[in-house]
Structure 1
Amino acid sequence: MKLVQAISRRKLALLWLLMLALLVVALGTLVWLAERYESSQVQSQLERDAANVVNDIRSGLTRNVQSLQALHAGDPSPAAWAADASVLLRDHRELLRLEWRNTAVGMVVAVDSPYRAPVFDVLGRVETQADVSLACATAQRFNSAAYSSNYFLPQPDSLGMEVIELCIPLVVSGQARGYVVATYSLAEVLSSLVSRQLTRSQEVSFAEADGARLALRGVARRGTPVFTARQLLDLPGNTMVVRLDSWRGAPGVFPNLMTVLVILMSLALLVVTVLLARDTRLRQRAERGLADALAFRKAMEDSLLTGLRARDLQGCITYVNPAFCQMVGFSADELRGHSMPAPYWPPDLAREYQQRQEVRMAGGAPPREGFSSVFMRKDGSFFPVLVMEAPLINAQGAHTGWMSAVVDITEQRRVEELSRTSQDRLQATARLATVGEMASLLSHELNQPLAAISSYATGSLNRLQTGGAAVDTADLAMAMRRIAEQVERAGKLIRSVHDFVRRRAKVREPVAPQVLLDAILPLVQLQARKLGVQVQLDVADALPPVLCDRSMVEQVLLNLTRNAMQAMEDPAVAERVLVLQVEQIQEWVVFSVSDQGPGISPEVAERLFTPFFTTKDEGMGLGLSLCRTVVEQHGGALSFAANPPQGTVFRFTLPISEPL
Structure 2
Amino acid sequence: MKRTGTSHIASAWHNIWSRWRSKLDEMLPWGSGRRSLWAALIALVLAVLVTLVWLAGRYETSQVQAELERDTADAVADLRSSLSRHVQALQALQSGHYMPATWQPEAQALLRDNRDWLRLEWRDKNWQLLSFSDSPLRAPAFERIARAEVLNEAAQACQRAKRLNGPAYSSTYFLPQADGLGVEVMELCLPVTQAGEFMGYTVVTYSLQELLTERLGPTFGRRNELSFVEPDGTRLAIAGTQRRERRVFTTQQLVDLPGNTLLLRMDGRRGEPDLFPNVLTALVTGMSIALITVMVLLAKDARRRLKAERDLADALAFRKAMEDSLVTGLRARDLQGHITYVNPAFCQMVGWEAEALIGQNAPMPYWPPEMVDEYQQRQAIRLAGNAPPREGFESVFMRQDGTRFPVLIIEAPLISVRGEQTGWMGAVIDISEQRRIEELSRASQERLQATARLATVGEMASLLSHELNQPLAAISSYANGSLNLLKDPQAEPQTLDDVHMALRRIAEQAERAGRVINSVHDFVRRRDQAREAVAPQALLDAISPLVSLQARKLHVRVHIRVEGRLPLVWCDRTMVEQVLLNLARNGMQAMDLPECRDRVLVLHVKRAASNPESAWVEFAVTDVGAGIAPEIETQLFNPFFTTKVEGMGLGLSLCRTVVEQHGGHLAFEPHAPKGTVFRFTLPAADGNAATGTA
Name the TM-score class by shorter chain.
Answer: 0.3 to 0.5
TM-score, length of structure 2 as denominator length? 0.36
TM-score, length of structure 1 as denominator length? 0.37
Q: Which of the pair has more CA radius of gyration?
A: 2
